[in-house]
Amino acid sequence: MTETNPQGCWGRRVAKFKDLSASPDALFSNMTKAGLPNPLIEVRIADPEDLDREMPHGQQGELLVRGPTVITNYFQVDAPDKFHLGWLVTGDVAKLDEEGAIIICDRSKDVIKSGGEWISSIDLENHISGMNEIAVAAVVAVPHPRWDERPVAVVTLPAGSGPGKEQGLKERVVSHCLKAFAKFQVPDDVIIWKEIRLTSTGKLDKRSIREKLSSQSYVLPKTMEAKSKL
């Protein structure tokens, strides 16, 4: 996080004994954490609807940071929404583990808000990308008349995949996701594209994905069925 230069957080310098017998999944889980805040940095996980309210430990919310090395404004950019009473509003959805390490769950603009619950697009993308028949996966929110938003997975297939690979892919992705996620978190649809655009930094360009779906007047299959019955 460049706004917290020179360093915002760090990992443990010495492994704990329990790490020596940890499973590969547990070790990988530790590797995906952002680390512990350094002594100069204060961290809060706040309610996105009320930044003065701190979320209970272990629950995700808006990541706020402050300290002598954290910026207080952007050069030649007026961004009052990025600061709150001396805290930098990072734009990240995060939570703290039992040791106080920061776990980044998603970007605030990318998290899916469905029926009052938050669904991490990153967690879904990582899980779906683990399938051998998926090359790249991006999960974005689309409007829903009842739940506000629902997740949709946009995927590409590995090079050389034949047309037969597309048949039944949605069902296989849903089945794969149900092994790790609650039913309400699973994408309502799986869309296959030839290519998914990346940003200049190599990240998924979710803005262009949302714009493309909007320009195509995309509607969730279940929503379309409900409208046809009216």
Q: Which amino acid is at 25?
A: D
Q: Is the pLDDT of residue 196 over 90?
A: yes
**pLDDT reading at 148 higher than 90:** yes
In this prediction, residue 9 carries a pLDDT of 54
C-alpha 121/C-alpha 19 separation (Å) is 28
Q: Rounded to an integer, what is the distance from CA 207 to the centroid of its chain? A: 14
133-136 — which CB contacts under 8 Å span 24+ positions?
133/157, 133/158, 133/161, 133/165, 133/169, 133/172, 134/158, 134/173, 135/159, 136/196, 136/204
Report the chain's C-alpha Rg in angstroms.
20
Instruction: Please compute the mean of the pLDDT values over residues 45-68 and round it to a whole number.
Output: 93
pLDDT greater than 90 at residue 26: no
Instruction: Please determine, for residue 160, whether its predicted confidence score (pLDDT) is greater than 70.
Output: yes
Q: Which of 21-35, 61-75, 204-218 has the lowest mean pLDDT?
A: 21-35
Q: Give me the pLDDT at residue 33, please.
A: 81
Q: Give the pLDDT score at 15.
A: 53
Provide the residue ranges of all domains of the chain, joining segments of one domain with +.
2-107, 112-229
Amino acid at 71: I
* Mean pLDDT value of segment 84-103: 92
Average pLDDT, whole number, for the chain? Answer: 86
Q: Is 126 exposed, middle or buried (0-12, 13-18, 19+ CB in 10 A)?
A: middle
How many CB atoms are closer than 10 A to CB 31? 8
Residue 136 has pLDDT above 50, yes or no: yes
pLDDT at residue 39 in the model: 86
> pLDDT value at position 144?
95
**What would the mean pLDDT of 121-137 be, rounded to a whole number?**
96
pLDDT at 55: 94
Give the right CATH number for 112-229 from 3.10.620.30, 3.30.300.30, 3.20.10.10, 3.30.70.270. Answer: 3.30.300.30
pLDDT of residue 23: 61
Average pLDDT of 26-32?
59
Check whether 17 has a pLDDT greater than 60: no
Overall average pLDDT of the 198-215 stretch: 95
Strand partners, 54: 46
Q: What is the CATH number of domain 2-107?
A: 2.30.38.10
